Amino acid sequence: MATKPLILAVVLQLLPLLCNSFSPESPTNRRVLVLLDDVAVKSSHSFFFKSLQSRGYQLEFKLADDPSVGLQRYGRYLYDVLILFCPSVERFKGAIDPAAILDFVDSGHDLIVAADTNASDFIREIATECGVDFDEDPSAMVIDHTSYAVSDTEGDHTLIASDDFVKSDVILGSKDIAPVIFKGIAHTLNPANRLVLKALSASPSAYSANPKSKLSNPPALTGSDISLVSVVQVRNNARILITGSLKMFSNRFFRSGVQKVGSSSKYKKSGNEQFLAELSKWVLHERGHLKAVNVRHHKVGEGDEPALYRINDELEYSVEIYEWSGRSWEPYVANDVQVQFYMMSPYVLKTLSSDKKGLYSTAFKVPDVYGVFQFKIEYERLGYTSLSLSRQIPVRPYRHNEYERFIPAAYPYYGAAFSTMAGFFIFTVVHLYNK
């Protein structure tokens, strides 16, 4: 019994070490807090949790109304990832409110949110702050009469099968995924919002309405505007997954077969498990996380980085870019990484050539303009974290002794000057001594 406080003390000592957000230095052994409405969810959704645990995450389950629950202690976050599987919770008893969760995200941590019918304002507010708008009608669900999933009992077509995935190998992996079954509420995204992305959209015939009541007005949300699963990558590269269905994580959906109505191909197993596993890999930074290191530039033929360049210098620029694979940093291979030599607008824009081992390099000539330039890399690709590097470097004009000493075009003037001097000398001699 006496060992308990001791262990606690040790744990407290280690907490700062354990509780880092995703960082290039210690990306493994990440701690996940799962907040549940109901303890039953832990077992009914156990496949999803097991897949996380098998990938090395330490899951901690708490009831949403547990008053002891807290995201940070002594100014440090206790967890790296937060999973909100508590769609109906109105408010937490512990020290968690929407602002705390958003601060958690803003300090670089990942978040998975699953809503469901009758989602609480709490969940809606978090989603809205992240750029996802759930249907305002609390009892509305996504209904699709043309691409619902064929099930044993003819239902109200709220169980839908969709295979309209985001076309990105980075987010969903390269393997094909069977249609995903979904039963939940719809949300929309602001098209102007560049940070948020539909991972799974509804078919054009879908709409959002209360299945139990008759449609009196045309539904507000229709067609492929409706997003079923969305992912957000905010500006500090924290990632968020938001879905309108908690059931799609459930063991039952993972195991059930799927057949889209009107489609002959019947899948033995729905795509849910693969889809969510791949998506969670992306959200938890096991894929698509880039880092750029060793930015170097120097004059051609020299090794050291100068404090400033002169106009018309030849220079070489190189940077190493790696991608996190879940276990280690692997070289990132692409042919579209560009560097700008930038002063209010890019004066030089060059594509970097890769050596396939992560090293990107190029060489160019400094433009004939002086000023304070920047080497800029703005690399934003779908699914990847955005790389934004800039390094300031002044470019100076020629020094007084770096110009050409004699200009060929000026030889007539040199000739004129010297001949005048000689002529004046002769004139003086003649004038003085020719009496």
Partner 1 sequence: MSTAGPEGANGATTLRNAFGGVLSFFILLLIGVLAFSIRLFSVIKYESVIHEFDPYFNYRVTQFLTKQGIYEFWNWFDDRTWYPLGRVIGGTVYPGLTLTAGTMWWILNSLNIPLSVETVCVFTAPIFSAFASWATYLLTKEAKGVGAGLTAAALLAMVPSYISRSVAGSYDNEAVAIFALIFTFYLYIKTLNTGSLFYATLNALAYFYMVCSWGGYTFIINLIPMHVLLCILTGRYSSRLYIAYAPLVVLGTLLAALVPVVGFNAVMTSEHFASFLVFIIIHVVALVYYIKGILTPRMFKAAVTLVVSVGLVVCCAVVAVLVALVASSPTKGWSGRSLSLLDPTYASKYIPIIASVSEHQPPTWPSYFMDINILAFLVPAGIIACFLPLSDASSFVVLYIVTSVYFSGVMVRLMLVLAPAACIISGIALSEAFTVFTRSIKFQLPGLSLGSQVESGDVTSSVAVAQNSSTAVARNDVAKAEKAQEASKTRPSKKNKKKEKDIVEKESVTPHSDRRHLILPMEASVISIFLLVLLGAFYVIHCVWAAAEAYSAPSIVLTSQSPDGGLHVFDDFREAYAWLRHNTDVDDKVASWWDYGYQTTAMANRTVIVDNNTWNNTHIATVGTAMSSPEKAAWEIFNSLDVKYILVVFGGLVGYPSDDINKFLWMVRIGGGVFPHIKEPDYLRDGQYRIDSQATPTMLNCLMYKLSYYRFVETDGQGFDRVRRTEIGKKHFKLSYFEEVFTTHHWMVRIYKLKPPKNRIRGKTKKLKSKGSSKRSVAGKRNPWN
- Contact range with partner 1 by CB under 8 A, out of 77-85, 123-131, 158-166, 418-426: 123-131
Query: Applying CB under 8 A, which of residues 372, 407, 416, 421 lies at the interface with partner 1?
Result: 372
Parallel/antiparallel/unpaired status of strands 239-243 and 110-114: parallel
CA dihedral 393, 397, 399, 402 (to 10 degrees): 110
Told to check if 29 binds partner 1 by CB under 8 A, we report no
Dihedral, CA of residue 420, residue 426, residue 429 and residue 434, to nearest 10:
-130
Q: What single DSSP character describes residue 148? A: B
The least CB distance from residue 306 to partner 1, in Å, is 13
Q: Does 121 bind partner 1 (CB under 8 A)?
A: yes
- Judged by CB under 8 A, the residue of 132, 159, 161, 321 near partner 1 is 132
Are 196 and 157 in contact by the 8 Å Cβ rule? The answer is no
Does residue number 289 form part of the binding site for partner 1 (CB under 8 A)?
no
Per CB under 8 A, 6 contacts partner 1? no
Of 33-41, 176-184, 355-363, 369-377: span binding partner 1 (CB under 8 A)? 369-377
Is 397 near partner 1 (CB under 8 A)?
yes
Burial of 58 (0-12, 13-18, 19+ CB in 10 A): middle
- Among 65, 70, 78, 133, contact with partner 1 (rule: CB under 8 A): 133
Residue with tokens 């955005």: 386
Tell me which of 194, 252, 268, 269 binds partner 1, using CB under 8 A.
Answer: 194
Q: 103 phi and psi, to 5 degrees? A: -65, -35
Range in contact with partner 1 (rule: CB under 8 A) among 2-10, 18-26, 393-401, 404-412: 393-401
Using CB under 8 A, pick the residue from 308, 382, 422, 426 that binds partner 1.
308
Q: Which of 175, 168, 122, 115 is nearest to 142 (CA)?
A: 115
Residue nearer to partner 1 on the CB measure, 66 or 106:
106
Rank residues 115 and 321 by Cβ distance to partner 1 and give the closer one: 115
Q: How many helices (H) and strands (E) does the chain have?
A: 9, 28
Length of the chain, in residues: 435
Q: Give the residue carrying structure tokens 């609480």.
A: 120
Q: Which is nearer to partner 1, 296 or 391 (CB)?
A: 391
| Residue pair 96/77 in contact by the 8 Å Cβ criterion | no
Nearest to 67 by CA among 43, 47, 91: 91
Determine the interface stretch with partner 1 among 22-30, 80-88, 350-358, 367-375 (rule: CB under 8 A). Answer: 367-375
Distance, in Å, from the CA atom of 232 to the CA atom of 332, rounded to the nearest integer, reads 22
- 347 binding partner 1? (CB under 8 A): no
* Binds partner 1 by CB under 8 A, chosen from 29, 328, 392, 428: 392
By CB under 8 A, tell whether 124 contacts partner 1.
Answer: yes
Asked if residue 235 binds partner 1 (CB under 8 A), the reply is yes
Q: Which helix (H) or strand (E) holds 129?
A: helix 121-129
Residue ranges binding partner 1 (CB under 8 A) = 98-99, 102, 105-106, 121, 124-125, 127-134, 136, 189-190, 193-196, 232, 234-236, 238, 308, 343-344, 370-374, 392, 394, 396-397, 399-400
